[in-house]
Structure 1
Amino acid sequence: MTTTTTRPGLAPRLSALTKVVELGPGRLDKKLLAEANGLLQLAGHRLKLSSEHTVVALAGGTGSGKSSLFNAISGLELSPTGVRRPTTARTHACVWGLEGAGPLLDWLQIQWRHRFSRASALDKGDSQLHGLILLDLPDHDSIRALTDTEADRLIGLADLVVWVLDPQKYADASTHRRYVTELAGHEAVTVFALNQADRLTTEELAELVIDLNDLLRREGVEHPSVVPTSAATGRGVESLKSVIATAVARRRAAIQKLEADLQRLEQRLSQAMPMGEALSAPSSVDEARRMGLTDALCDAVGVPAVGEAMENVYAERSSQWVGWPYPRWFAKFRPDPLKSLRLEDVGEEIRGITTTSVSAQSAEVANAVQALTDGLSMGMHPVWRTAVHQAARSRSSQLPQALTEDLTEVAPQLDRVPGWWRALKVWQYVLVAAFVAGVVWLAAGLLMPGQLPPALELLGDSATLPWVGLMMASVLGLGALSGIASRNFVELGASRERERLEREMRRRVAAVSTTMVVEPVERELGRHHAFYTAMRDLSV
């Protein structure tokens, strides 16, 4: 029977670790990331296998009596014990209740010839051990690298580890350095068997137990479980079996081991990536910062200058079409203000607004992007701060050119003549013609009275001259008023055109900055937020 029931909290924490592993590449140390991925694989495999079996590994150094203790617990001579140099070369397994244990033993890579089963007829009252898979591991301090590696592997896979120590080497530095210091938080799934107790007096044994407990506490094992045993005399074997039987009966050792492994890994992750105020960092670019970036980029590409130039040119060009013609004709005898201001070439300058100073523009664009990322990444871990900056600059080399091309499309056509300018010019020349006709009439009436042909006698009629003068005055006044009105309309139109142009250019700058800066940054901010959310869920 195989189930994967876990206590509430383990599954969400494993899911959180999965998210951390998914988002960690490039942010976490590769070794730590590999360890996290390994734990996920371990958990995935173990939880799919039999939950009715508890894997208990006897680990120890050469000469600790580990194999003898294995035989004593199983009640059979299953694991060979050496005489001149007692060593265990291959892992042996004794199973109480073989049904469903096969896939688990395969996962542990226990060879078939080293698997043994306790049949019910031989249990001798050991029914409390039903579901136990007891492993006799190779000596972890063996000179044979193969067995040493196998011991390390199975120590990591076992649900509960019984460390078999002998009175002479119980404080062995290599054992404590390689294994014991890594057991902090694993007290529930770790037992220390102080073996060969028959070689000590009662007082010596008590003193060693106290000393071992103190040593383990100093190394981070807060509540060590120490059981004195003697495989030779059987002393303490039943006590050890009772401890193992309790773990087997609860069917929780596998879950506790995973929880302990997860807790230890979470501590290492927290040291590498401290939580701090990480979750208070923005997960997106707010509207104020978007507008600030748009403003800075608009300044970088000269949007206000383009609008002002367009407005000036629009107004100056209109003087050729609108306004009372007489002042315009007289103005031809004065220097052309367009030439003095060099505004006749502004159209080309607008269309190439950034191409004339690419390096300067690129620097200003880079400063605008830098200002955005500095504000967003404040307080972040240096790794994430760097990642945000890299995301913002991921397309920085293309940004000035993209802005140039996009704004060129909306650059105003400075030689464009609105239809109402043409209509107004026609109207003004009608007034000019009327004024000229009045002048001719006055000249004819004043210079040639009574001398004109009958058909033109009206022109020489002195009675009409005052009305002609009034008409000429009216034409001049109407022309002047229409000129003033048209200039006002031109200025108003130029202002509106400038606003429209700047609004459209700003919209395009905002669109380009969103695509090439804001979106990459928001993806990184989202990744940062998701990573630390997973870290928080992992530590619950």
Structure 2
Amino acid sequence: MSVVSTAHLQYGLGPRLAALARVVELGHGRLDPALLTDGGQLLLRAGDRLKLSAEHTVVALAGGTGSGKSSLFNAVSGLELSPIGVRRPTTARTHACVWGLDGAGPLLDWLQIQWRHRFARASALDKGESRLHGLILLDLPDHDSIRALTDPEADRLIQVADLVVWVLDPQKYADASVHRRYVAELTGHDAVTVFVLNQADRLTPEERAECVADLEDLLRREGVTVPRVVATSTTTGMGIDDLKAVLAESVAARRAAYQRLEADLDRLMARLTKEMPDVPRVDPTVDDVRRGGLTDALCDAVGVSALGEAMENVYGVRSADWVGWPFARWAAKLRPDPASSLRLGGVKDDIRELVGSSVSAQPAEVDNAVHALADGLAAGMPQVWRQGVLEAARSRSADLPGALTNELAEAAPPLNRVPAWWWLLKIWQYLLVVMFAAGLGWAGAVLAYGVFEVGRPPAAVLGDVGVLPWVGLMLLSVVGLGLLTGLASRNFVVLEAGKERERLELDMRRRVGGVAHDMVITPVEGELNRYNEFYGALGAARR
């Protein structure tokens, strides 16, 4: 590979092809499949061509039946290599003439040129044709042939040739089929396309000039900005040297292969740009405000506040078994429960069931929250990418409600967990009960031994009537202290229940935020990064 070619590949075509490969990779599901297919084929063709000889330039002579294409091939090569016909196509298989065989074999194999149709100009240097050294000239099958195999072969080689020479004749140079099927497809390929008006000897000089001008005007209307038209005649030899000079210029520059690939890439990028116009980049990370909004919406969907309230009620109901004045609890058990006649069941059982097994997320509300996030992030993006962001956000929507339910079920504290101060308070309450019972026993003994004199007291203090007021005062103090302790503890329970609810809701919110990050935000950020990378690659693939 020459220095010029290497530099051109490194600083021009190479990075653009790498960017195109990234566009094709990232564009699946976002681009027209036909564009992706064309992009993939261009990458394969470029990869194959760039691995082969850069010292050779592949020039394809293309034309319809009767245009004199094969005669022109023989005139340029200086040998009678390709069969000539007038009324019917005679070139059924591509013929190749090579100026300089070294390194051309793999390239000819890639072009699928049969061995028996390969010819070498071994004596080219002796004949003064050194300027064409490195040329591979192809005589393609007639593109309008009635033979079944010729059109596909011509189409294939027109796609891969470094330089295409269109051979037209004065009668059919404006043939609509040629311009519609081939010329229009080569818009932007001016540098690698040459048009030959052959059989020009049939025209007078004035007619020839008029035909050339008319053809140039027609080509400009077809999108060929700077058409190169050469008038030739294989009968008189007119224009053959001019055509050789054009070919020699391309061969000497060693750039036709790159120019052809660049032109193909430019055309593909124009189609890509039309389908995917430039749009602003987006922030690839979900901001804190939207994260918080999604978490809030999911918390509402799973009923975090309701669960916190239920847990607060559980805390209060359970505390009554531990910190209340025991005599009040025992008395309450003796009173009939008016709610029992309504068959409502136990409140504690209902709350336990709510906390233990009924934490669930509402799928519709979860989906609405996810949809709102995607819509906000994708605003201003093309519709296909907006749909992609939504699909990413909902990629795990089937698992999201279940994951939220599991996280919240784990967040609910175990019902058998009892704060340490409840134990201390319960011990204190029962100590007061013991003291009250002891006081009652003392008072009973004083009444029995000191007032009713039923016998001799075992101890003087048990028969001393003078201590009776003090015993009564002690009993009242114990009862008052117990009631006061119960009342104070209930106030503490209310405060602690609020703190427990706040702690639980914060924990649940943290868990919901974690699920939202893993199952919604991470896929969305991946899609946003894909969007930015796609447009970055698309920009790099352009000139």
Q: TM (normalized to structure 2)?
A: 0.90
Corresponding position of 2:289: 288
1:437-516 map, 5 Å: 437-439=438-440, 441=442, 448-449=450-451, 451=453, 453-461=456-464, 463-465=466-468, 467-468=470-471, 470-516=473-519
Query: What is the rounded CA distance, in whole Å, between the counterparts of 2:48 and 2:498 in structure 1?
Result: 72
Task: State which drifts further: 83-92 or 106-115.
Answer: 83-92
Corresponding position of 2:383: 382
Corresponding position of 1:367: 368
Alignment partner of 2:395: what SS? coil
Assess if the C-alpha contact under 8 Å between 2:94 and 2:113 holds in 1: yes
Query: What is the rounded CA distance, in whole Å, between the counterparts of 1:103 and 1:393 in structure 2?
Result: 50
Corresponding position of 1:147: 150
Find out whether 1:530 has 2:533 as its counterpart: yes
Query: What is the rounded CA distance, in whole Å, between the counterparts of 2:338 and 2:512 in structure 1?
Result: 35
Q: For 1:216, which of 191, 196, 219 is the aligned residue?
A: 219
**Amino acid in the other structure paired with 2:351:** V
Assess if the C-alpha contact under 8 Å between 1:16 and 1:535 holds in 2: yes
Deviation at 1:337, TM superposition (A): 8.2
Q: For 1:85, which of 83, 88, 112 is the aligned residue?
A: 88
Corresponding position of 1:353: 358
Query: What is the rounded CA distance, in whole Å, between the counterparts of 1:275 and 1:488 in structure 2?
Result: 65
Percent of residue pairs identical: 65
Deviation at 1:331, TM superposition (A): 4.4
Deviation at 1:121, TM superposition (A): 5.7
Assess if the C-alpha contact under 8 Å between 1:63 and 1:87 holds in 2: no
Q: TM (normalized to structure 1)?
A: 0.91
Query: What is the rounded CA distance, in whole Å, between the counterparts of 2:423 and 2:228 in structure 1?
Result: 102
Query: What is the rounded CA distance, in whole Å, between the counterparts of 2:363 and 2:452 in structure 1?
Result: 81
Alignment partner of 1:523: what SS? helix
Query: What is the rounded CA distance, in whole Å, between the counterparts of 1:139 and 1:516 in structure 2?
Result: 59
Count of residues in Structure 1 that have an aligned counterpart in Structure 2: 534
Corresponding position of 1:25: 28
Query: What is the rounded CA distance, in whole Å, between the counterparts of 2:528 and 2:223 in structure 1?
Result: 37
Alignment partner of 1:321: what SS? helix
Query: What is the rounded CA distance, in whole Å, between the counterparts of 1:67 and 1:232 in structure 2?
Result: 13
1:402-441 map, 5 Å: 402-414=403-415, 416-439=417-440, 441=442
Deviation at 1:340, TM superposition (A): 8.9
Alignment partner of 1:9: what SS? helix
Corresponding position of 1:246: 249
Assess if the C-alpha contact under 8 Å between 1:2 and 1:100 holds in 2: no
Structure 1 residues 131 and 437: alpha-carbon distance in aligned structure 2, compared to 1, 3 A threshold: same
Query: What is the rounded CA distance, in whole Å, between the counterparts of 2:338 and 2:319 in structure 1?
Result: 14
Query: What is the rounded CA distance, in whole Å, between the counterparts of 2:504 and 2:324 in structure 1?
Result: 25
Task: State which drifts further: 406-415 or 158-167.
Answer: 406-415
Find out whether 1:44 has 2:39 as its counterpart: no
**Amino acid in the other structure paired with 1:538:** A
Query: What is the rounded CA distance, in whole Å, between the counterparts of 2:417 and 2:375 in structure 1?
Result: 44
Alignment partner of 2:6: what SS? coil
Query: What is the rounded CA distance, in whole Å, between the counterparts of 1:502 and 1:347 in structure 2?
Result: 17
Deviations 1:318-359 (A, max 9, x none): 12221333444454537478969945311112223256xx7x
Alignment partner of 2:322: what SS? coil
CA RMSD of superposed structures (Å):
2.7
Find out whether 1:118 has 2:121 as its counterpart: yes
Task: State which drifts further: 129-138 or 118-127.
Answer: 118-127
Corresponding position of 2:303: 302
Assess if the C-alpha contact under 8 Å between 1:352 and 1:404 holds in 2: no
Query: What is the rounded CA distance, in whole Å, between the counterparts of 1:507 and 1:175 in structure 2?
Result: 68
Task: State which drifts further: 167-176 or 137-146.
Answer: 137-146
Corresponding position of 2:187: 184
Alignment partner of 1:275: what SS? coil
Task: State which drifts further: 161-170 or 371-380.
Answer: 371-380
Q: Any unmatched runs of 5+ in structure 1?
A: none
